[in-house]
Amino acid sequence: MDLLGDVGNADQLTSAREENKVLQAKVKELQGRVHELSVENQALLCEVEEYRREKLASGNSSKSAPASLHEGDIGPLPSRQEQAQSEDEFVVSGNGRYTDEAAVTLKSLHVNSNLLSCSLNKDCTVLATGGADSYVSICQWGGALAPTDDAAAKVVDGAARVRCDAPVICVGFGQVDGGPSIVAAGCMDGSVKLVEYGAGVGDGRSGMGARLLKTLGDDSEATAGIKHAKYVKVVAWSASVSLLASASADGSIQLSRVGQPDEAGAVKIEKIQTMHLPGSVEAMCFLDDGDTLCSYARDTAYLSYFDLRKFDTEGATQTKVTVNESCVKGFEEHVSFAIMCLVPSPNGKYVAAATDTSRNIIFEKGSPRQIRNLYGHKNDGFSVPKIAWSSNGQYLLGNTQDDCSICVWDIASGDIVKKLDDKMGGHTGQVREIFSSPTSDTVATASFDKTAKIWLPKME
C-alpha cells in the first residue's frame, strides 16, 4: 500500500475543494457586481434621456426635426398643447377593470409540443394557436366554460388542426366583417399559410373544421403563395379590407390582397407591394382602420409609418419617426433598444412598444413623444417581449423572463399593480404570446408550459 501516495492524493483533493469554494465565492461576487452594473446602466440611460429633454427645451423651441435628419423623414415633435392633451389621458389611475382571471386552460392543443403563438377572431369566440409541431389549431374556446370536469378536454378534442410545412411562429385572423374566415400562419420556413375555418369546413362536419387553402395568382394559376427568404416574424390584417401584411427576418414586408375561398379550397392572392427595410422586421401593426402600417426594423432608430391610402396607384409612402424622444445632435441614429412588439391602443391614439431592454414604451401615434416608460420586469435580447392593452386603454399587460407571470401596469402611475402568476391560475412556463381584444376584456395567452389560456375580468 502506498500510504504516501494516498496522503498526496488526499491533499490534492482537499486543495481542489478549497479552490472550488474560493471560485464559487468569486462567481457570486461577480454576479452581484453584474447586477449592480445593470442597475447603474439603467440609471445612466434615464439620465441621458433627461439630458436630451433639457437640451431640447433650452436650445430648440421650434417643431422642426434636427437639421441632420432629412426633412420630412422624421415627424415633428408635438406642441406643448398636444403634449398636454396626451398626458391628460393618463393623469388619473385606472378604474381597476382589467383581465385578471384565468377562466379557461386548454392543454395539449399541440399534443406534446410548445405553443409559439395565439390569436382571437374579431368577436373573440374562436382561438387559433400555432405550434412547434408545425400545426395550426383552431377551436371555439367558450365550450370550456361549461360546468363539467371534462369541458376543456372536449374543446381540445374538437379543435381543428391543419399542418403547415414548418413551425408556426405567428397567427392572425382576418378582421373584415363579412370577409373570408381565414387565419394567416407565419412559419419558420418563410412561408405564410392561409387556413379557412368554420362549421362544416374541411372534415369539420357540423362542428369546427379547417383546411389549408391552395393559393392562386392573378392569372388564376396555382402559385407558391406568400413567401419570404427567412422566417416570418409578424402577420397582420387590415380592419377595412382583406389586406394581409407579413413581415420577415429578411427585412421585407409583403402586402397581399386575399380573396374569398372557393368551394374547392382555393383562394386568390394579389401581391400588392413589397417593402424592404434595412434590418429584420421585428414588429408591425395596422393603424387608422388599415390606412397606416407601422413597423420597426432591428438596428434602426425610428418607426416606419407607411401610408396605404393610395397604395393601389402610388404605392405605400414611408414616413420615419424617431424613437428617441429628444434628439440632441449626434444621437439621432443611436438607439439602446430593439422594439420587439407593437400594439395600437384601443382608441388608436397611441402605440405600445415592448423592447428587449426591460422597458415598455407608450408612444403617441406618428410622433416621437413618449407618453410613458414602464419598468419593473425583465426582458433582454434572448427573450420574446409581448404586450397587450386592456380594452379601456388604462392598463398594459406584458410578459417577463424573470418568471412565468403576466405583469399588469397602471399606465397613469407607471406601476405594476398585479402579477398574474400560477397562484392565480396562471402559467407555469414562460409566456410566449399575449393577445388582447380591442373591444372586450378577453385575453389569450400561450406559454412554454404547452397550454393556452383565456383570461377574463373577475365577476363582481
pLDDT along the chain (460 residues), means of 10: 50 69 74 58 52 46 32 46 64 93 97 97 96 97 96 96 97 84 97 94 78 81 84 94 94 95 92 95 96 97 93 82 73 84 97 98 96 96 96 97 97 97 96 93 97 89
| CA–CA gap between residue 185 and residue 169 (Å, rounded) | 7
pTM for this entry:
0.82
pLDDT of residue 85: 58
CA 78 to chain centroid, in Å, comes to 27
- Neighbouring CB atoms inside 10 A of 217's CB total 14
pLDDT of residue 84: 55
- Neighbouring CB atoms inside 10 A of 241's CB total 15
Cell numbers placing 61 = 423651441
CA 359 to chain centroid, in Å, comes to 14
* Residue whose C-alpha cell is 424592404: 276
Contacts of 19 (CB under 8 A, 6+ apart): none
pLDDT of residue 3: 44
| CA–CA gap between residue 443 and residue 399 (Å, rounded) | 13
Q: Which residues pair with 293 in a beta bridge?
A: 286, 306
